[in-house]
Structure 1
Amino acid sequence: MRISQLDGQRVALWGWGREGHSAYRALRGRLPHLPLTLFCADEEVANAQALGDPRLAVETAATAERLSAFDVVVKSPGISPYKPEAVAARARGTRFIGGTALWFAEHAGPDGIVTNTVCVTGTKGKSTTTSLLAHLLRAGGHVTALAGNIGLPLLELPESPVPAYRAIELSSYQTGDVADSGARPDVAVVLNIFPEHLDWHGGEARYVEDKLRLLTGARPRIAIINANDPHLAGLSLPDSDVRCFGHAEGWHLREDVLYRGDRQVMDTAALPLPGRHNRGNLCAVLAAIEALGLDAVALAPHAADFKPLPHRLQTLGVRDGLTWVNDSISTTPFASLAALDCFRSRRVAILVGGHDRGVDWHAFAEAMRHGAPQAIVTMGQNGPRIHELLAPLSGEGRFALSAADDLAMAITQARTVLGNDGVLLLSPGAPSFGPYRDYVARGRHFAQLGGFDPDSISTIPGLGIA
């Protein structure tokens, strides 16, 4: 659905975060006389009313009855379409779309394809992968847009200059929007799928289904998938040219050496991509560049100049002999395991736990039977559940285990075990909701507690068009 098609319809906005603000500006810029209703939280009412828009009504109760009064509700990504009130309103004919859907509909060509646009999703690694893709394209002299879930809503991208390429990160909250838009990405990359956001999706099966909609529903011209992921390997996509990374015929790693088929390209050990999983995602980036018709082999060496993103295995510095690593973006136990693997040769104390979304931690606990860190400190809403799983292993002397009431206490307990030698690793494996607004706020607090400047470690480079 294009923005012009909203003219004359009963339209509401649901959510007043950054995506909500972006949708409002986009609609108001194109349809200045369209009456709008905003559903937002009580504490957001004053901000919305301060706009002084006589055609904007502000309400706080997004009930099924009120949502059903509208033809279209433009919903922020964080609001689940599986909420009972949304399901009930949809059954009565209300259509729910997101800003991502509006943007894709606006930019589709006559054949439905949004040309030279690469969409990237995956449970972990999608931000680094999308940013690295933009970095390599720009290194090749191509004006490239970097936007989406990484920190710049698509509706905030300027229409001028028109970029040669677009690198777009999508969360599982947004992949369905692309499918619902009726547009087709030129290239879609899916890195991996692990259980996450189960409360939003209503279960693991639906999470996987929603994640895969970027491929199954949006029908990209070319689909780039991880040959080693069980949810992706062998996936049937009749409307797409399917290409794999991570196998011997395509882009893959042998130890730390990057190969394109049998051709050795470069050693990746010294690249600023922490963790083997991130260096593996370089293979996905190069496969996407190849899908755009560019020389990926020539661009690969520019990965050496890539600047790692904040809050993603970010080394803040050294304090009293301890290396502080901020991996606040880690919201699944699989991400925590990947973080530990990066420091397997060091003494490590890892801080885990946060908002409880019902994700299973048994695989993490099982992995602690071999190669566990020196210490694990649990915290947050799901901290007690994780602690209970780990307690029998700790009792066998495999690692020190403690529970903390908050991040500051967790740091104190970790430092007690490490002394003046090791890695203090924040890789929670869970969302931050509760004490923190988001993972950025959690990472900034971690930096502050370590004596580092939170402002200097939080900027994502390269957003927008460059």
Structure 2
Amino acid sequence: MRDSLLKIGQLEGRRIALWGWGREGRAAYRAIRSRLPASPLTLFCNADEAADAAVLADASLAIETDANAGRLSAFDIVVKSPGISPYKPEALIAAHEGTRFVGGTALWFAERPHERAVCVTGTKGKSTTTALLAHLLRAGGHRTALCGNIGLPLLELLDAQAEYWAVELSSYQTRDVAGSGVRPPIAVVTNIFPEHLDWHGSEERYVEDKLALLTEAKPRIAVLNAQDRRLAALSLPDSDIRWFGREDGWHLRGDDLYRGADFVFDTRAVPLPGRHNRGNLCAVLAAIDALGLDAAALAPFAQSFVPLPHRLQMLGERDGIAYVNDSISTTPHASLAALDVFRGRRVAILLGGHDRGIDWSDFAESIGANPPAAAVTMGQNGPRIRALLEEPARRAGFLLLSADGLEQAVARAREALAGEGVILLSPGAPSFGAYRDYTQRGRHFAQLAGFDPDIIASIPGLGIS
């Protein structure tokens, strides 16, 4: 069920709490304080975050470290950070007792309901698609915001002005938007594969939450990938669907880009590694068409796009070995796609991380069609992946190694390649436990490879320009 739009000003006089003190939580605090400077607030966070928040010396801010069901139930509204699952038992109990949970993304849309926003989601490709959309719109002379899950919370731009908004939404945020009363002008969905099962609780709920941006938020225009079976099967009577990836829309024929029957240009000069990545260009151009702009005129500007870090990022070469940072890869499907980019080269792929219970059987069955020179497993789910790969490794003849962590994995990959090939960090799993996030994991990989992590990690174009 969709709630009505909730503006920040409507929080006044109600019992309000913040849950989470990461970048999204801090952005929500500043946004609320910009509208309601003296309203009582309670912050639920961990002990380290509590010490950070205490520095604010806000007399109207109470800080607590135990977000239990009883305490959450004491509030009318809880502004929740995206990384906190609404399916946690304490959240479900509080919601049953009448507490309304809302995220910063929904608050922004309530404040700015008439903006020309393009919401981009998908299991893979959403960050690149969002950044490329902003790049092409800016190339056309349009003042455009690049924000959202890509690294800049919408609430940090609460009072900023832009002609267009390129907004990346995670699966955590699509549910928030869908339940908030927001109807996005345009929603782009690149693909749907199982991910974040620990947050959503099941594959079915992940798919339901992801697709809620379409099925519940009911965007005016839905830009969808015709090659994705789940998307292709959707019926959206309240939305105008624009398909990409099929012959009557934007699609690729080999490396050539077409709009319908019309050839546009050869995409080999576009700095997007892999055919699946260039498919994101089709999504972007379909979205630009949906905005009523001339996408074909803007398409060649894709050749000046600067790829995002941690996404099949070529770091460089050391002693005959090329290092590729694909730390963003958190699903087995993404790791297979990364391997395909380097088809025909000697590759040592580094696999594994936090175990969310995702099935690697399809990966094991498919890897024989494009076997690496070596696969090195690591992390919490490393032993499970290794067990599944033992038979494919025997049949296809690739080395199967294991490592205690990323440092040892890089060392074993170097030894396996013996001075020739590609070390590909495409773990197919999150980094939690060993690292704060995929960014920290990618930075460590760059450091182990002999490159400056600060130079490789910045995301170009965030904000408004």
Matched letter for residue 131 of structure 1:
A
Partner Cα distance (1:207, 1:398) in 2: 36
Q: Distance in 1 between matches of 2:36 and 2:427?
A: 43
Q: CA deviation at 1:45?
A: 1.4
Q: Deviations over 1:129-165 (max 9, x none)?
A: 00000000000000000000000000001523x2111
- Are residue 21 (structure 1) and residue 26 (structure 2) matched? yes
Count of aligned positions = 460
Q: Indicate the residue corresponding to 1:217 in structure 2.
A: 216
2:134 maps to 1:129: no
Mapped partners of 2:393, 2:144: distance in 1? 49
Match of 1:181 in 2: 180
Local SS of the residue matching 1:356: coil
Compute the RMSD of aligned alpha carbons.
Answer: 0.8
Please give the alpha-carbon distance, in whole angstroms, between the structure 2 residues aligned to 1:388 and 1:220: 44
- Partner of residue 98 from structure 2, selected from 82, 93, 102: 93
TM-score where L is the length of structure 1: 0.98
Find the counterpart in structure 1 of residue 141 from structure 2. 141
Report matched runs for 1:166-177 at 5 Å: 166-177=165-176
Alignment of 1:327-338 (within 5 A): 327-338=326-337
Aligned to 2:229: 230
Q: 2:230 aligns to what SS in structure 1?
A: coil
The answer as to 2:71 corresponding to 1:66 is yes
1:414 corresponds to: 413
1:103 and 2:108 matched: yes
The residue type equivalent to 2:71 in the other structure is: R
Do the aligned residues in 2 keep the contact of 1:251 with 1:261 (CA within 8 Å)? yes
- Report if the CA contact (8 A) 1:33-1:55 is conserved: yes
Distance in 1, matches of 2:364 and 2:178, equals: 37
Distance (whole Å) between structure 2 residues aligned to residue 397 and residue 365 of structure 1: 11
Give, in whole Å, the separation in 2 of the partners of 1:450 and 1:84. 42
Retained in 1: the 8 A contact 2:175–2:209? yes
Distance in 2 (alpha carbons) for counterparts of 1:347 and 1:395: 17
Q: How far apart, in 2, do the equivalents of 1:31 and 1:398 lie? A: 64
Answering whether residue 43 of structure 2 is matched by residue 38 of structure 1, we say yes
Instruction: State the secondary structure of the residue aligned to 2:316.
Output: strand
Return the letter of the residue paired with 2:46. Answer: A
AA of the residue aligned to 1:146: L
**Structure 2 contact 31–158 (Cα < 8 Å) conserved:** no
Secondary structure of 2:459's partner? coil
C-alpha distance after superposition, 1:415-466 (max 9, x if no partner): 1110111000000000001111000000000000111000000000000000
Can you list the C-alpha shifts for 1:211-230, whole angstroms capped at 9, x where unaligned? 00111111111000010111
What's 1:112 paired with?
none
The range that moved more, 438-447 or 232-241, is 232-241
> Which residue in 2 is equivalent to 1:377?
376
**Alignment-derived partner of residue 465 in structure 1:** 464
Secondary structure of 2:29's aligned partner: helix
- Aligned AA (1:365): A
Whether 1:298 aligns to 2:297 is yes
Q: How far apart, in 1, do the equivalents of 2:93 and 2:159 lie? A: 37
Structure 2 segments unaligned to the other structure (5+ residues): 1-5
Q: Contact 1:259–1:266 at 8 Å: present in 2 too?
A: yes
Assess if the C-alpha contact under 8 Å between 1:116 and 1:164 holds in 2.
yes
Q: Is contact 2:184–2:220 with CA below 8 Å preserved after alignment?
A: yes
| Identical aligned residues as a percent | 70
Structure 1 window deviating more from structure 2 (289-298 vs 150-159): it is 150-159
Question: What's the counterpart of residue 279 of structure 1?
Answer: 278
Name the SS of the counterpart of 1:200 in structure 2.
helix
Structure 2 Cα separation of the partners of residues 91 and 397 of structure 1: 53
Map Cα deviations across residues 31-55 of structure 1 (whole Å, 9 max, x no partner): 0111000000112111111110011
Mapped pair 1:245 → 2:244: yes
- Amino acid aligned to 2:304: D
Deviation (angstroms), 1:369: 2.1
Q: TM-score, normalised by structure 2?
A: 0.98
CA distance in 2, matches of 1:280, 1:91: 42
Post-superposition CA distance 1:337-389 (Å, at most 9, x none): 11001000211000010001111101110012222100000000000110110
Distance of 2:385 and 2:403 partners within structure 1: 12
Question: Are 1:404 and 2:403 matched, yes or no?
Answer: yes
Q: Is the 8 A contact 2:352 2:379 kept in 1?
A: yes
Structure 2 residue identity aligned to 1:139: A
What is the alpha-carbon distance in structure 2 between the residues aligned to residue 323 and residue 402 of structure 1? 19
Secondary structure at the counterpart of residue 118 of structure 1: strand
Runs (4+) off by over 3 Å: none
The one-letter amino acid paired with 1:10 is R
Shift of 1:117: 0.8
The reply on whether 1:4 has 2:3 as its aligned counterpart is: no
Letter in 2 for 1:54: A
Query: Which residue number in structure 1 is paired with residue 3 of structure 2?
Result: none
Give the aligned residue type for 1:275.
Answer: G
The answer as to whether partners of 2:314 and 2:323 remain within 8 angstroms in 1 is yes
Residues in 1 aligned to 2:377 and 2:235: alpha-carbon distance in whole angstroms: 41
Other structure's SS at 1:96 match: strand
What CA distance in whole angstroms lies between the structure 2 residues aligned with 1:207 and 1:331?
Answer: 15
**Amino acid paired to 2:57:** G
The one-letter code sitting in structure 2 at the alignment partner of 1:388 is: A
Aligned residue for 2:415, secondary structure, equals helix
- Asked if 2 retains the 8 angstrom alpha-carbon contact of 1:369 and 1:398, the reply is no
Contact 2:108–2:158 at 8 Å: present in 1 too?
Answer: no
Q: CA deviation at 1:397?
A: 5.0
